[in-house]
Amino acid sequence: GAVVSQHPSWVICKSGTSVKIECRSLDFQATTMFWYRQFPKQSLMLMATSNEGSKATYEQGVEKDKFLINHASLTLSTLTVTSAHPEDSSFYICSAGPGLSYEQYFGPGTRLTVT
Amino acid sequence: TQLLEQSPQFLSIQEGENLTVYCNSSSVFSSLQWYRQEPGEGPVLLVTVVTGGEVKKLKRLTFQFGDARKDSSLHITAAQPGDTGLYLCADTGGFKTIFGAGTRLFVKA
């Protein structure tokens, strides 16, 4: 149980285009999901907290107009990188928990490369 | 802002050796978690510890939580190449999770 999936697993896009990444909880409902970014050989940095039915909460320094988050249902959150630039190239990971537990389960990540 | 420091940053050892990695927090942990992440994949939860002084074992892995709940160690006995990966400690402060920078372990066959 407690499986989180992401789609796509990798994507290459041209500078200036937008890319949507999906995060799904497959066997549980999640009112809250988290989006992280990980640069090569670095740790995970929390970007934003995705809240079902309401606006996402962004961490300091993360542009909300550039990283659009939509949590349309209890099993799906999407992250859209708008007007992508090469510096947005990174590994994007989402996580979710099955309830009030502090434990989170991570998706397999999405490798974004912007050319 | 809570800071988690992990040491060493990088460790390369031979198969069969033992090793210990450490995680220290600038403040008391709410709950401490250890994860292992392999290249190109998301982190996988290894253990959660909550009580000061707690010791948990997972096969060849032993996790210790300091009495003051500000530090933790992960000991691996007889390391195997399959243990290679990035080991991350994290604190879920009731809601958000803060990660340490990780220890990158490489076990040579």
Residues with Cβ < 8 Å from B6, sequence gap 6 or more?
A: B21, B22, B23, B24, B87, B88, B89, B100, B101, B102, B103
| pLDDT of the residue at B61 | 97
Beta strands B10-14 and B4-7, pairing class: unpaired
Q: What are phi and psi of B55, to 5 degrees?
A: -125, 130
Using an 8 Å CB-CB cutoff, list chain A residues near B99. 43-45
| Cβ contact B59:B83 at 8 Å | no
Beta strands B4-7 and A4-7, pairing class: unpaired
Q: What are phi and psi of A33, to 5 degrees?
A: -130, 155
pLDDT tens by residue, B7-65 = 999 999 999 999 999 999 999 988 899 999 998 899 999 999 989 999 999 999 999 99
Q: What are phi and psi of A9, to 5 degrees?
A: -80, -30
Pick from B40, B88, B97: CB nearest A104 = B97
- Say which DSSP state B35 is in: E
User: Hey, is the C-beta of A95 within 8 angstroms of any chain B C-beta?
Assistant: yes
pLDDT tens by residue, B1-20 = 788 999 999 999 999 999 99
CA gap A29, A6 in Å, rounded: 15
User: Hey, is the C-beta of A100 within 8 angstroms of any chain B C-beta?
Assistant: no
| Cβ contact B105:B9 at 8 Å | no
Cβ-based neighbour number of residue A100 at 10 Å: 6
Using an 8 Å CB-CB cutoff, list chain B residues near A45. 99
Who has greater pLDDT, B74 or B3?
B74
Beta strands A10-13 and B32-37, pairing class: unpaired
* Residues in chain B whose Cβ is within 8 Å of chain A: 30-31, 33, 35, 40-45, 48, 88, 92, 94-102, 104
| pLDDT of the residue at B1 | 78
Q: Which residues of chain A have pLDDT under 70?
A: 1, 99-102
Beta strands B10-14 and B103-108, pairing class: parallel
